[in-house]
């Protein structure tokens, strides 16, 4: 326990030199502990407390709530995607090959820093999705992939907003918000019930889109090992390995959920 604490302390101290002064005073940015606490409480609640509370209860009918929630997520993701584009990625001012961190306070850069912080906030709103699964007794959807993905993303968003809120490391946010527009649009339409659900033949392609997303993020991050770019290598490793872990879990889910089902038919 002492060695683990010592290790984490050393990691935190080694990262201190990369802290972005522009976000240091922003809400939840001074320390990773509140975000880490939320992640740990989330995992404990959705894996142990929630299912036990709902075990002997009838499932909730949340149709209207789900429509409202998914509409909000589509709108929020759309705004985030637009801001990532307008702040640099689709303005011609950002390079997909190498975009160093800009520590200036010019309006365009601050706009990117701002949307990165809001992207971090969006990871908290996504945790509510798991609560709805539990309230509807969809326990099979609260699997290891789902909990790992949702449980780690707030902390990942915190790292981005605290250490690299603009530049090369914001590319995953651009791609992820686009995927979430499509994903939450599917959930929104599905919430309207069987009359709409029968037309939603493209569900399995959501998983394919997510896997392609992680491959692109890996390639985009790891190319910096071969390009001279003023971007910290430690975060290149982090983005690449996180994307690899997600790809592995999503590809395993795809094989289990779709290919095995196809063999049965």
Give residue 230's pLDDT. 87
In a domain, 134, yes or no: yes
**Residue ranges in the chain whose pLDDT is less than 50:** 1
70 inside domain:
yes
Active site residue 149: yes
User: What residue numbers bound the domain in which 146 lies?
Assistant: 28-54+61-264
Choose, from 6, 140, 149, 220, the residue flagged as catalytic: 149
pLDDT score, position 1 = 45
20 inside domain: no
What is the pLDDT, as a whole number, of residue 228?
A: 86
pLDDT score recorded for residue 13: 73
Instruction: Tell whether 135 is covered by a domain.
Output: yes
Q: Is residue 17 part of a domain?
A: no
Hey, CA dihedral for 218, 148, 118, 33, is it positive or negative?
negative
What average pLDDT is seen over the chain? 91
5 belongs to a structural domain:
no
Local structure of 141: helix, strand or coil = helix
For residue 7, the model assigns a pLDDT of: 66
- Contact, 175 vs 80, CB < 8 A? no
15 found inside a domain: no
**pTM for the whole structure:** 0.92
Total domains in the fold of the chain: 1
Half-sphere exposure (CA, 13 Å, Cβ side) for 149? 21
pLDDT at residue number 263: 54
pLDDT in tens, 170-219: 999 999 999 999 999 999 999 998 888 888 888 878 989 999 999 999 99
Angle at the Cα of 161 (from 158 to 167), degrees rounded to 5? Answer: 135
173 in a structural domain: yes
Q: In this predicted model, what pLDDT tens digit does every residue of 46-71 receive, in sequence order?
A: 999 999 999 889 999 999 999 999 99
């Amino acid at each position: 326990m002492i060695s683990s604490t010592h290790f984490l302390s050393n990691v935190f101290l080694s990262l201190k030199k990369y802290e972005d002064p522009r976000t240091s005073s922003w809400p939840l940015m001074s320390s990773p502990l509140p975000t880490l606490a939320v992640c740990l409480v989330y995992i404990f609640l959705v894996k142990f407390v929630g299912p036990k509370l709902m075990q002997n209860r009838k499932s909730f009918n949340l149709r209207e709530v789900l429509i409202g929630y998914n509409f909000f997520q589509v709108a929020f993701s759309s705004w985030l995607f637009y801001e990532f584009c307008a702040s640099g990625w689709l303005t011609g001012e950002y390079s997909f090959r190498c975009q160093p961190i800009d520590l200036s306070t010019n309006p365009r850069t601050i706009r990117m820093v701002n949307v990165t912080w809001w992207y971090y906030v969006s990871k908290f709103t996504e945790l509510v999705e798991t609560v709805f699964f539990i309230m509807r007794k969809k326990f099979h959807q609260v699997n290891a992939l789902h909990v790992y993905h949702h449980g780690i993303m707030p902390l990942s968003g915190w790292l981005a907003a605290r250490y690299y809120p603009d530049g090369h490391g914001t590319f995953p946010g651009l791609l992820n918000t686009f995927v979430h527009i499509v994903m939450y649009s599917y959930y929104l339409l599905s919430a309207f019930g069987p009359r709409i659900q029968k037309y939603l033949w493209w569900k399995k392609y959501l998983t394919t889109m997510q896997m392609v997303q992680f491959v692109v993020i890996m390639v985009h991050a790891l190319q910096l090992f071969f390009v001279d770019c003023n971007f910290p290598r430690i975060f290149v490793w982090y983005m690449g390995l996180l994307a690899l872990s997600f790809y592995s879990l999503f590809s395993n889910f795809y094989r289990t959920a779709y290919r095995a089902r196809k063999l049965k038919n």
